[in-house]
Structure 1
């Protein structure tokens, strides 16, 4: 371990759609799946929030 390990570039933790997966380990693939699963849940929650807001607005203006 070097004193300058902090200077080394960090591994990219985000997932890029369409990127080459063949170089990733099983642990890295598992981490990416977890990351994407969390992002899907976040997107679905936002969609539900916006859908509820729109529905309330539609009821108000009918």
Structure 2
């Protein structure tokens, strides 16, 4: 490891919306797509969880 390794630009581990994609390889683009699809699934799961919690609360207070 060189003393100058810290000077090299680091590739982000996560995708940043609107970032320049021109320097990424096909494999890197596919990895980002997979990352974003996993994040969408996580967000949808959280939405469903919150919606069911809200519905339960609404049913409790309607009684």
Coarse TM-score class (shorter-chain normalised): 0.7 to 0.9
1:36 aligns with 2:31: no
Paired with 2:51 and 2:11, the residues of 1 have a C-alpha distance of 37
Paired with 2:21 and 2:61, the residues of 1 have a C-alpha distance of 49
Which consecutive aligned stretches of 4+ in structure 1 deviate over 2 angstroms post-superposition? 7-11
Q: What TM-score do the two structures reach when normalised by structure 2? A: 0.81
Unaligned runs of 5+ in 1: none
Paired with 1:34 and 1:16, the residues of 2 have a C-alpha distance of 14
Unaligned runs of 5+ in 2: none
Paired with 1:19 and 1:28, the residues of 2 have a C-alpha distance of 13
Q: What TM-score do the two structures reach when normalised by structure 1? A: 0.82
**Mapping of residues 9-28 of structure 1, within 5 Å:** 10-28=10-28
State the number of aligned residues.
58
Aligned to 1:61: 61
